[in-house]
Amino acid sequence: MPKYIFITGGVVSALGKGIAAAAIGALLEAKGLRVTIQKLDPYINVDPGTLSPFEHGEVFVTDDGCETDLDLGHYERFTHLRASVVNNYTTGRIYFNVITKERRGDYLGDTVQVVPHITDEIKEAIKSAASDEYDINIVEIGGTVGDIESLPFLEAIRQFRYHVGKENVLYVHLTLVPYIKTAGELKTKPTQHSVNELREIGIQPDLLLCRTERPLPPEMKRKIAIHCNLDPDAVIAAMDVSTVYEVPLSFMEEGLDKLIEKKLALNLREPDVEIWNQVVERIKNPKYECSIAIVGKYVNLKDSYKSLEEALIHGGIANNARVNLEWVDSEAIETHGVEHHLSEVDGILVPGGFGSRGIEGKIAAVQYAREKKIPYFGICLGMQLAVIEFGRHVCGLSANSTEFDVKVKDPLIYLMESWYNHRSGKIEERTADSQMGGTMRLGAYPAVLIEGTHAFKAYGAKEISERHRHRYEFNNKYRELLTSKGLVISGLSPDHELVEIIELRDHPWFLGCQFHPEFKSRPTEPHPLFSAFVGAAIREKRELFQ
Ligand code: GLN
């Protein structure tokens, strides 16, 4: 049976619970354990797919096509986990399941209540991720202790220890120890209050992770320990670090792995963190440098492109390079012109997106990259716009996507009426209704690559699998015309019906993919397309210096 580590947060939000959960996962994997990580989110949306990236950050997509919280991206980047539908539950999904059961008559006339029905459903959800494949299930509870919304989750994890036994459950609480400049002191009161609040609902944390910008002196740890009913060694300083990939190492220095081992009665080897040392060393002391412009819509909220940002850092790791990101609002390009924003950069990336805002600015960025021969990477929408730009300016078409202009003369990107779904093995039909929502192509689909292309060279493989999240596709009616003018189709669905990757014949590195490669990149295994793109951007720079 797996053991459970529950992670709660207190004092304020945004302390980095997701990173903490992921880093603990990395550290336990380094000690030879098999780890899964789960996020329980207190909001009522059934899944985060409909949440605005402005408010909630990126929607992370799993292989099995779930739209999940961005913390699952951290879990996958720090550990070997490939998350699925069991790794993210929201209050909405829990209630939805309970109400579905109630409608079916499963409760046989019981009065359906938060306790026990909702809490039982939560406990089932927690167990659903913890199969025999894993030694540890780390469960992150979203929100902050004291929120009304997270109470049923806290009650469920309180009961959990009762069911599975003390030695199988560990409660970790993440708090803040702020440094008050005017007093010149670190303050422990918020931590004490937060732990009190947790204890009031019956949870005594086993260890505290204290976020702090300064080292926590031993007397400070002792003070927290006495007030919170803990051993001083159970108070761990989670110091600010310069890269998130240093967090597993900093936890190890604080003895967190030994503590978890002791508290969960495990007998493990010393952690092998060589790979994390290498990752951190490469990030901190790179040999090269390049700047990449990300031309998007949500550039003021970096969390909207979290996986993308990380994947570019990974591309840098693969090339021993620091990648400086320039966030460019595509509407600003429409106002100030493309030169103003892009003349200094080594690479241009147009990420995924929905809706027509800022589209023409993005197309201008694509045209600039194509004409000036600057390395270009288009992801999902960025690939579709690269096709449209090529159609307009090279083939003289009146081109657009029907997403932005339903009546366009040359719909280069459009909604297919039906397509073969390689995951379900079925033909998917699109009804007028489903065009509004429903039938997005979501999750992992296979693709075959064409030899001799940049894509083939980057992957070094003929068959790949990548995650999708889109509705519109390349219109095959235009394949012949576009390829005759120099567009290269380098990746296709196995039946050759769907275009997955495009490139340009006369360009150093110009690639657009219909999928989201950023979701599968890890610091320890940078994604081949990001490595190749960053590599191309640096090569350009080296040539300039020669
Ligand atoms: N809006 C486009 C589509 O639905 C692209 C989506 C995306 O970039 N993820 O096809």
Parallel, antiparallel or unpaired: strands 136-141 and 35-41: parallel
**Ligand 1 mean position to 76 CA, how many Å?**
23
Q: Which atom of ligand 1 is nearest to the CA of 380?
A: 8
Atom of ligand 1 nearest to the CA of 382: 8
- Which of the four pLDDT bands, split at 50, 70 and 90, describes residue 436? very low
Instruction: Looking at 165-305, list the stretches that DSSP marks H as alpha helix, in order from N- to C-terminal side.
Output: 189-200, 218-228, 247-253, 256-263, 274-284
Question: Average pLDDT, stretch 112-122?
Answer: 96
Tokens of 512: 């657009």
Tell me the per-residue pLDDT of 61-103, one tens digit each, with 9 for 90 and over. Answer: 999 999 998 999 999 999 999 999 999 999 999 999 999 999 9
- Tell me, using a 6 A CB cutoff, whether residue 352 lines ligand 1: yes
- Contact status, residue 9 vs residue 173, Cβ threshold 8 Å: yes
Paired with 413 in beta bridges are 401, 474
Question: Would you give the DSSP letter of residue 215?
Answer: -
pLDDT tier, 424 (very low <50, low <70, confident <90, very high otherwise): confident
Which superfamily is assigned to 3-278 in CATH?
P-loop containing nucleotide triphosphate hydrolases (3.40.50.300)
Residue with tokens 């790979």: 275
Pairing of strands 185-186, 179-180: antiparallel
The pLDDT of residue 542 is: 60
Measuring from atom 5 of ligand 1, which residue has the nearest CA?
A: 381
Lowest mean pLDDT among 214-223, 340-349, 433-442: 433-442
Q: What is the pLDDT of residue 193?
A: 93
Please choose from 60, 295, 377, 381 the residue to mutate so as to test ligand 1's pocket, defined by most ligand atoms within 8 A of CB: 381
Active site residues: 380, 516, 518
Q: What are the φ and ψ backbone dihedral angles of 288, each rounded to 5 degrees?
A: -115, 175
User: Could you check whether 3-278 and 286-545 share the same CATH topology?
Assistant: yes
User: How sure is the predictor about 51, in pLDDT bands with cuts at 50, 70 and 90?
Assistant: confident
For 527, how many CA atoms within 13 A lie in the half-sphere containing its CB? 24
Work out the percent of the chain whose per-residue pLDDT is above 90: 79
CB-CB contact of 442 with 67 (8 Å): yes
Q: Mean pLDDT over residues 406-425, rounded?
A: 84
CA distance 531 to 520: 13
CA-closest candidate to residue 287, choices 534, 60, 515: 534
- What is the pTM for the complete model shown? 0.93
Q: Given a cut of 90, is residue 160 above it in pLDDT? A: yes
* Class at the top of the CATH hierarchy for domain 286-545: alpha beta
For ligand 1, whether the C-beta of 314 sits within 6 Å is no
Report the pLDDT averaged over residues 16-35. Answer: 96
Residue 469 in contact with ligand 1 by CB distance below 6 A: yes
On average, the pLDDT of the chain sits at 92
pLDDT band at residue 543, thresholds of 50, 70 and 90? low
What is the rounded distance in angstroms from the CA atom of residue 540 to the CA atom of residue 533?
Answer: 11
Task: Report the range out of 34-43, 51-60, 434-443 with the highest average pLDDT.
Answer: 34-43
Q: 20 and 174 in contact (C-beta within 8 Å)?
A: yes
Q: Establish whether residue 353 lines the binding site of ligand 1, counting it when its CB lies within 6 angstroms of any ligand atom.
A: yes
Give yes or no for a contact between 152 and 184, defined as CB atoms under 8 angstroms apart. no
**Where are the domains positioned within the chain?**
3-278, 286-545
Kindly tell me if the per-residue pLDDT of 27 is higher than 80: yes
| Tens of pLDDT, residues 206-253 | 999 999 989 899 999 999 999 999 998 999 999 889 999 999 999 999
Position 435 scores a pLDDT of 44
Residue 250 near residue 238, CB atoms below 8 Å? yes
| Interatomic CA distance for residues 529 and 521, integer angstroms | 9
The pLDDT, as a whole number, for residue 218 is 92
173: helix, strand or coil: strand
Q: Which of 297, 366, 380, 514 to mutate to test the pocket of ligand 1 (most atoms within 8 A of CB)?
A: 380
- Cα 515 to middle of ligand 1, angstroms: 9
Query: Measured from the CA of 403, which atom of ligand 1 is nearest?
Result: 1
Ligand 1 close to Cβ of residue 404 (< 6 A): no
| Measured distance CA(343)–CA(296) in Å, rounded | 17
